[in-house]
Chains A and B, each alone.
Chain A
Amino acid sequence: MELINIEGTPKTPTITMNAESGVIDIKGRSIPENSIEFYKPIVDWLEEYAKTPASKTVVNVQLEYFNTSSSKCILDVFKKLEVLKKNNNDVIINWYYEEDDEDMLEAGEDYESIIKVPFKMIQIVD
């Protein structure tokens, strides 16, 4: 499968998706006006990936900011991972947050309560 390597901008995150290693990184800011457009290739890729996934899928989410429009798209991404998990694949979401950023921790916990995939909350210490 094709590697995805999207470089970040002030409004969109850096995204790398590697089907072979099963590692997916989402890092930076996600505050575009039109998030559906931005996230569509990512959701599509995951759908394809789910057919022949790696033995373990590790998703690292390290966002500094995200807007509510992105929050729906991120949920769509997680829902694809949920399907993967449901099909007895090993999946984990590592949710990173800065130590003083309670809102980001809470956002991760919101997702954790909706999505049936193991989450690991990881505090970034400077």
Chain B
Amino acid sequence: MSVFLDQCYEHMNKGEVIVAYKGTIGADIITNTLSLVELKLENIDVQNAVKKKLYNILVESLQNLYHHVDVPLNNGESDDCKSNFGIFILSKLEDAFRISTGNFIHHDRIPVIKEKIDKINSLSEEELKEFYKFVLNNQKFSEKGGGGLGLIDMARKSGNKLDYKFFKYSDDFEFFNLTVVINAPSNLN
């Protein structure tokens, strides 16, 4: 189990790490991470607009984990799987930031997730805006409170495609890794 997770982590880990976390994803962890990141961003020389984008996308990424990570993994194989286990890494690349998150999901949910991300990635900026507005106005809240808008918003704000990968863990479960890159051109001001 932990060898498997180490491999996933290694795959996710690129660039200079700003914050990395592996463990239970709870509301407190999200709150603490956000304030830590905000503090760290103060010392990084990029435009304010980029910091805002990054913060926004980070909120969505973490809350996406929080809402969707709780797949029952009662296969008794490992303690790692018992609760809301997730991984996230925020790192700085040369001219961008990178947010990579990972969580276990049941094999059956893969087609739906794939379809959704592939659709988002196929849309132009204008189409993405229309899709966002459509979902905002027409789709009911899920019981978990997610509006189905998180992924669309991440793609829209970043202006980049969402990158994803599934790592096979067992017959029933896979580790779902989602990565989004936020461009951060060097501060010319």
Contacts and interface: CB of A to CB of B under 8 A. Distances in A.
B36 interface: no
Contact of B149 (A10, A68, A113): A68
Contacts of B7: none
A81 to B, nearest CB: 15
A35 B66 CA distance: 14
B150 to A, nearest CB: 5
Given A34-B145, A35-B145, A36-B141, A67 B59 contact: yes
Say whether chain B's binding surface is mostly helix, strand, loop, or mixed.
Answer: helix
B137 A114 contact: yes
B94 to A, nearest CB: 23
- In this complex, which of B53, B59, B66, B129 has the most chain A Cβ atoms within 10 angstroms of its Cβ? B59
Interface residues of B, number: 31
18 contacts: A31-B59, A33-B66, A33-B67, A65-B52, A65-B55, A67-B56, A67-B59, A68-B60, A68-B146, A68-B147, A68-B153, A69-B63, A69-B145, A69-B146, A69-B149, A100-B49, A103-B56, A110-B129
Interface of A: 10-11, 31, 33-36, 65, 67-69, 71-72, 75, 100-103, 106, 110, 113-114
